[in-house]
């Protein structure tokens, strides 16, 4: 029996990860914001021993404080929630910048800080953070978003160094152009430029991210720690 917490579970990638990793004996805590109906649908699909829905804004400090408590003593934490606002830096408002920092960084940090002590005490546990190809390859209109994702990757490596000796694994996936919510806004800004730079000549699928997530969270990846796994169809290198 495992306790699994997934933020951003109402997104296409988050939901795909939940479906892939959930087992009948698991206790799942699935978080989302604005799309409560998607969480309800996901709950019916998972068929776990118990599935708890946590619906709210991670940028709301009150909600975040309460939500963090639900993550205590979890065996697996997946930080998939993200705020993505695509615009040139000069056009971003203070509120938009604060939103991306709050959701992409502060919520992740506080959740990890909550679950790590229990994992260390049990000498087991796995944390998976979701970054983006934007952290490694410059994309117009993604300055702050890309910066938060770069932080996530550095945070992952350092937390893995802190926790690895006691059996806690921390890893990261950096998706490339995936046919999901956040990419749709980016495509509206960049046109066909993204698609033309994917070596496999197609967009990725949420299930392809979920496949990698399931591997990293499984015992099959027991010797993988502190890694950022790029899943981008050859987009990162401009092939």
Give φ, ψ of 141 to 5 degrees: 80, 10
pTM of structure: 0.93
Residue 78 and residue 91: Cα distance in Å, rounded? 31
Packing angle of the helix pair 12-21, 36-46 (nearest 10 deg): 20
Question: Based on C-alpha coordinates, what's the Rg of the chain?
Answer: 17
Please check whether residue 190 is in contact with residue 183, taking contact to mean a CB–CB distance below 8 angstroms.
no
Closest CA to 2 of 111, 109, 75, 82: 75
Instruction: Tell me the CATH number of domain 3-231, given options 3.90.1300.10, 3.40.50.2020, 1.10.1060.10, 3.40.50.720.
Output: 3.40.50.720
Residue 33 and residue 26: Cα distance in Å, rounded? 23
Q: In angstroms, what CA-CA distances link 68 with 27, 54, 64, 73, 107? A: 16, 10, 6, 11, 8
pLDDT of res. 90: 97
Please check whether residue 174 is in contact with residue 149, taking contact to mean a CB–CB distance below 8 angstroms.
yes
Residue 127 and residue 55: Cα distance in Å, rounded? 21
Please check whether residue 9 is in contact with residue 15, taking contact to mean a CB–CB distance below 8 angstroms.
yes
Q: Where are the domains positioned within the chain?
A: 3-231
- Structure tokens given for 196: 């033309």
pLDDT of res. 230: 96
Max Cα separation, the chain? Answer: 49
pLDDT (tens digit, 0 to 9) for every residue of the chain, 239 residues total? Answer: 899 999 999 999 999 999 999 999 999 999 999 889 999 999 999 989 999 999 999 999 999 999 999 999 999 999 999 999 989 999 999 999 999 999 999 999 999 999 999 999 999 999 999 999 999 988 888 999 999 999 999 999 999 999 999 999 999 999 998 888 766 655 555 556 777 788 888 889 999 999 999 999 999 999 999 999 999 998 855 54
Write down the residue that tokens 């959930």 correspond to.
22
Q: Pick the catalytic residue: 145, 178, 198, 226?
A: 145
pLDDT of res. 4: 98
Write down the residue that tokens 């109402």 correspond to.
10
Catalytic residue at 145?
yes
pLDDT of res. 76: 98
């Amino acid at each position: 029996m495992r306790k699994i917490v997934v933020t951003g579970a109402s997104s296409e990638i988050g939901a795909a990860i939940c479906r892939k990793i959930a087992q009948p004996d698991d206790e799942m805590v699935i978080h989302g914001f604005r799309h409560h109906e998607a969480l309800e649908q996901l709950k019916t699909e998972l068929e776990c021993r118990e599935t708890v829905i946590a619906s709210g804004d991670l940028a709301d400090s009150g909600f975040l404080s309460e939500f963090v408590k639900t993550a205590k003593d979890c065996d697996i934490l997946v930080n998939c929630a993200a705020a993505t606002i695509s615009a040139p830096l000069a056009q971003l408002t203070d509120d938009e910048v604060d939103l991306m920092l709050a959701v992409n960084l502060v919520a992740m940090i506080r959740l990890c800080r909550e679950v790590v002590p229990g994992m260390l005490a049990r000498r087991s546990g796995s944390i998976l953070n979701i970054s983006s190809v934007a952290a490694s390859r410059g994309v117009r209109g993604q300055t702050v978003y890309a910066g938060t994702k770069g932080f996530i990757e550095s945070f992952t490596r350092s937390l893995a160094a802190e926790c690895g000796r006691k059996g806690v694994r921390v890893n990261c996936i950096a998706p490339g152009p995936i046919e999901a919510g956040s990419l749709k806004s980016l495509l509206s800004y960049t046109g066909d430029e993204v698609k033309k730079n994917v070596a496999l000549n197609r967009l990725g699928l949420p299930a392809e991210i979920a496949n990698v997530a399931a591997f990293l969270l499984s015992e099959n990846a027991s010797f993988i720690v502190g890694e950022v796994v790029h899943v981008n169809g050859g987009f990162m290198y401009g092939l």
